[in-house]
């Protein structure tokens, strides 16, 4: 680790005890900081808090009292999910106290170069592709962040021989001041998380912080097909590595005559890529750009692209049965993600969709629904999606109680050659704790269907 002495005797308030809060608390305590942990869950229901307290860390649970700010505080490490409207956070900012997320600690402490990847959609797939490309090329990547170990834990153990590859969200990036990846990747930007950020401009500003501290020796990988991404990257000091599915960007990654290139080097014929869909082609181009920039070998990149079938719950190929293919895209918790999934297929699609009702309409989904053969709806939004499907002219629309019941209904509607796709366009919390649980239920239901 580098810079570890700077935390000795610092007074730090860690707000929120999810994985990142616990990891930050333990790390800062080991580095000699005076740590206070504050979590909304009462101490008697909070085993993590009790464990930290047993180590000698001060713990305050059950509420977020403003009196915590009357103690000496050098900075606050905030759980990314806690909004800036939280009274304690708002008051801290008013008092000029620095508020960061734990990825800031990771960046400050890591001896390894970092590739940071963000965007509204495609982060996990791109991150996983980069890791596999580097690993196959004999590098020593460490995956961190939302799909791996908490970033500051990884940074504590990383050496100059490693490359940290981390997926970062707008929530995490907003809480950064000195965050400095060697390679920063911005995939795309849609209207998302506006309940947290307030406006698309604020959301975009948070995403753009991935570039804020880059220097001329750094690199930034951007989607030049996305005008807003291009705008956000204006004035970045690093070397631009563009990617595009529509334009021949000879200083980056692009597609020409159904062949993928990087800086005029042929990488792979598009037909040889296993992962379906235009949105995944964008992810692939971004991954190639980042991996090649950090020394990945072309032959190993090709091997990954010929074998990679997707990240679990993200247009994940499950199985084929009676000449029907099943895909699990439970991570599609918004309309944009579901639109991308539907557009990935040329085959007729039986779509399973529905979930938590957040009050939005599904009018924007109608053009994509026009392309599907049948829709099976479930959850709180089933009537809204049914209405959108009717408006789109979908002739076959059925209801199911949940995902488990939707699978056999979809199968009975299908014919040989069809794709049965779970891409809910909604969050899962009306019926399932997580999108992962929902996807796992889908996979189990497919297995049971085959066995019946």
Binding-site residue ranges for ATP = 119-125
Sign of the dihedral through C-alpha 94, 194, 14, 152: negative
Which of 371, 375, 367, 352 shows the shortest CA–CA distance to 426? 352
Give the Cα separation of 233 and 184 in Å (integer): 11
Q: Known binding site: residues?
A: 119-125
Give the Cα separation of 228 and 230 in Å (integer): 5
Give the Cα separation of 158 and 137 in Å (integer): 18
- Residue 436: how many CA atoms within 13 Å on its side-chain side? 3
Enter the DSSP assignment of 432.
-
Give the Cα separation of 289 and 287 in Å (integer): 5
Place of tokens 């990142």: 20
Tokens of 42: 């009462």
Q: Which residues pair with 240 in a beta bridge?
A: 220
Which of 161, 36, 167, 179 shows the shortest CA–CA distance to 109? 179
Write out the DSSP string of 317-380: EEEEETTEEEEE-TT--SHHHHHHHHHT-SS-EEEEEE----S---GGGHHHHTT-SEEEEEST
Tokens of 177: 């001041």
Q: Which residues contact 85 (CB under 8 A, 6 or more apart)?
A: none
Give the Cα separation of 432 and 442 in Å (integer): 12
Which of 124, 172, 166, 159 shows the shortest CA–CA distance to 144? 166
Tokens of 116: 């940071």
Length in residues, the chain: 452
Backbone angles phi, psi at 12, to 5 degrees: -125, 135
Give the Cα separation of 409 and 256 in Å (integer): 41
Q: Taking the C-alpha atoms of 73, 75, 80 and 81 in order, what is their torsion angle to the nearest 10 degrees?
A: 20
């Amino acid at each position: 680790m580098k810079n570890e002495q700077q935390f000795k005797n610092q007074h730090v308030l860690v707000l929120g005890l999810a994985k990142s809060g616990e990891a930050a608390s333990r790390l800062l305590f080991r580095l000699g900081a005076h740590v206070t942990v504050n979590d909304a869950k009462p101490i008697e229901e909070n085993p993590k808090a009790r464990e930290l307290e047993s180590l000698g860390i001060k713990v305050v649970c059950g509420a977020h009292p403003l009196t915590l700010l009357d103690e000496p505080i050098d900075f606050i490490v905030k759980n990314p999910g806690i909004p800036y409207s939280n009274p304690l956070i708002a008051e801290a900012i008013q008092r000029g106290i620095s508020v960061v997320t734990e990825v800031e600690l990771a960046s400050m402490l890591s001896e390894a170069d970092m590739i940071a990847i963000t965007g509204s959609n495609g982060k996990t797939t791109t991150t996983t592709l980069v890791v596999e490309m580097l690993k196959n090329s004999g590098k020593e990547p460490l995956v961190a962040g939302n799909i791996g170990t908490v970033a500051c834990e990884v940074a504590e153990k990383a050496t100059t021989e490693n490359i940290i590859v981390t997926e970062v969200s707008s929530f995490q990036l907003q809480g950064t001041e000195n965050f400095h990846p060697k390679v920063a990747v911005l995939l795309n930007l849609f209207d998302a998380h506006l309940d947290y950020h307030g406006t698309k401009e604020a959301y975009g500003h948070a995403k753009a912080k991935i570039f804020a501290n880059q220097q001329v020796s750094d690199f930034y990988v951007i989607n030049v097909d996305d005008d807003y991404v291009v705008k956000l990257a204006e004035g970045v000091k690093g070397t631009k590595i563009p990617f595009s599915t529509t334009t021949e960007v000879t200083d980056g990654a692009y597609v020409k005559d159904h062949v993928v290139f990087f800086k005029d080097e042929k990488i792979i014929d598009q037909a040889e890529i296993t992962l379906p869909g235009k949105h995944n082609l964008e992810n692939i181009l971004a991954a190639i750009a980042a991996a090649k920039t950090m020394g990945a070998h072309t032959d190993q990149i090709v091997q990954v692209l010929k074998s990679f079938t997707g990240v679990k719950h993200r247009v994940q190929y499950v199985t084929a049965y009676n000449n029907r293919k099943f895909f699990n895209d439970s991570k599609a918790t918004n309309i944009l993600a579901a639109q991308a999934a539907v557009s990935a297929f040329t085959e007729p699609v039986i779509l399973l969709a529905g979930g938590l009702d957040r009050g939005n309409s599904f009018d924007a989904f109608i053009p994509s629904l026009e392309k599907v053969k049948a829709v099976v709806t479930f959850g709180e939004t089933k009537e809204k999606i049914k209405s959108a499907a009717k408006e789109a002219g979908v002739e076959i629309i059925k209801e199911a109680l949940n995902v488990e019941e939707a699978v056999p209904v979809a199968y009975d509607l299908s014919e040989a050659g069809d794709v049965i796709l779970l891409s809910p366009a909604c969050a899962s919390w009306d019926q399932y704790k997580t999108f992962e649980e929902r996807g796992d239920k889908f996979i189990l239901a497919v297995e049971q269907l085959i066995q019946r």
